[in-house]
Amino acid sequence: MSSNAKGPLVKRHRLSTRVWHWTNMVAIFLLIGSGATIFNAHPRLYWGEYGANFDPAWLVIDDRQSATGPRGFVNIGGAEFDTTGVLGVFEKGGETRMRAFPHWVTIPAEYSLSAGRRYHLLGAWIFGVAGFVYFFWSLFNRHIQRDLIPRKWQLTPACVRADIKNHIKLNFIHSGTEKYSLLQKLSYAGVILVILPVLVATGLTMSPNMNAAWPWLLDIFGGRQSARSLHFIAAFLLIAFIFVHLILVVLAGPYNEIRSMITGKLRLPAGDGR
């Protein structure tokens, strides 16, 4: 845990990582909120090439009338959950609204598919260009190879156990030869090398123009509606990552952590000098 005794201040994050982090924060904020708006236009997900109201959906967020008024529900593969107040049916300014995602997560707050689509494309352009530059820069300066891919020795059972134990003890900040612990590496590599590329690629397949030119991309995901479902699932996994990320920043000491992402310098615990 963060202690009051101060250890040395060490360089932790390079400039490209810091710039990308904050650019992404803005872009992903826009993308998640506007993505929720776009989902609200047709809050049903399918597998395969086609899918519309008469076709079976694996996920539905909707509302139905009941004796006590409208009830919101989520149906995942046949299992139904009442989500009144949060999803499907919610209150806005004393009024009952019936939409999948509520106004406090969507961009814009008042439903507008066209505005949501514009914000989503703005976010996508920022995210896509920044991600492209960062990815190739990080291959070039060997950030991915050196910092993100786990070392062989980190994968030995003893080291895996030690890292899990450190996380359980909330002991996050460490010195040593590696910038990131094994669990950190696995989650960052999973996001940067799997989740984000899936989001970009499935996002591109939402374009009928791209699908005409690059049909193989749609084939990878098993059709237009499968790609739409995978886009949503990948976004959900990214949100889960962001939640854990924010919780860990708070547990590891928010001042030190946020400073390290602004100035690049991280303070190590006392007695943990290198």
Partner 1 sequence: MTSRRTVLTGIGACLMLPGCERIGKTKPVHDLLYSLDGLTMRAQRLVTARGALAREYTEADLSPRFRVNGTRQPASADYARHQKEGFANWRLNVGGMVRRPLQISLSDLRAMPTRTQITRHDCVEGWSAIGQWTGVQLSRILDFARVSERAKYVLFRCADNYGDTPYYETVDMIEARHPQTILAWGMNGDILSVAHGAPLRLRSERQLGYKHAKYVMGVEAIESFAEIGGGKGGFWEDRSGYDWWAGI
Nearer to partner 1, 181 or 226 (CB): 226
**Closer to partner 1 by Cβ: residue 38 or 234:** 38
- Which lies closer to partner 1 via its Cβ, residue 50 or residue 177? 50
Residue with Cβ nearer partner 1 (1 or 155): 1
For 73, list phi and psi in degrees, rounded to 5: -145, 155
Do 170 and 253 contact (CB within 8 A), yes or no?
A: no
| Neighbour count for residue 212 (Cβ, 10 Å) | 9
Residue 269 CB, shortest distance to partner 1, in Å, is: 16
Smallest gap, in angstroms, from Cβ of residue 69 to partner 1? 26
Shortest distance (Å) from residue 25 CB to partner 1 = 9
φ, ψ for residue 255, nearest 5 deg:
-65, -50
Rg (CA), the chain: 22
Residues found near partner 1 in the complex (CB under 8 A): 29-30, 33, 38-39, 41-42, 44, 49-55, 103-104, 106-109, 112-115, 117-119, 121-122, 125, 206-215, 218, 224-225, 228, 254-255, 258
Q: Which is nearer to partner 1, 53 or 68 (CB)?
A: 53
Rounded Cα gap, residues 152 and 52, in angstroms:
48
Q: How far is the CB of 125 from partner 1 (least distance, A)?
A: 7
Helix, strand, or coil (residue 109): coil
Q: Which amino acid is at 55?
A: D
Is residue 94 classed as helix, strand or coil in its secondary structure? coil
Distance CA 113, CA 128 (A): 21
Minimum CB–partner distance for residue 178 and partner 1 (Å): 28
Rounded to the nearest 5°, which phi and psi values hold at 184? -60, -50
Q: In angstroms, what is the minimal distance from the CB of 37 to partner 1?
A: 11
CB-wise, 115 or 162, nearer to partner 1? Answer: 115
Number of Cβ within a 10 Å radius of residue 62: 19
Residue 79 CB, nearest approach to partner 1 (Å) = 22
Report helix, strand or coil for 6. strand
Q: Whole-angstrom Cα distance, residue 191 to residue 186?
A: 9
Q: Smallest distance from the beta carbon of 110 to partner 1, in angstroms? A: 9
Q: Is the peptide bond before 208 cis (omega within 30 degrees of 0)?
A: no
Residue with structure tokens 């101060």?
A: 6
Q: Which is nearer to partner 1, 106 or 181 (CB)?
A: 106
Residue closer to partner 1, measured from CB, 138 or 225: 225
Q: CA–CA separation, 138 vs 142, rounded Å?
A: 6
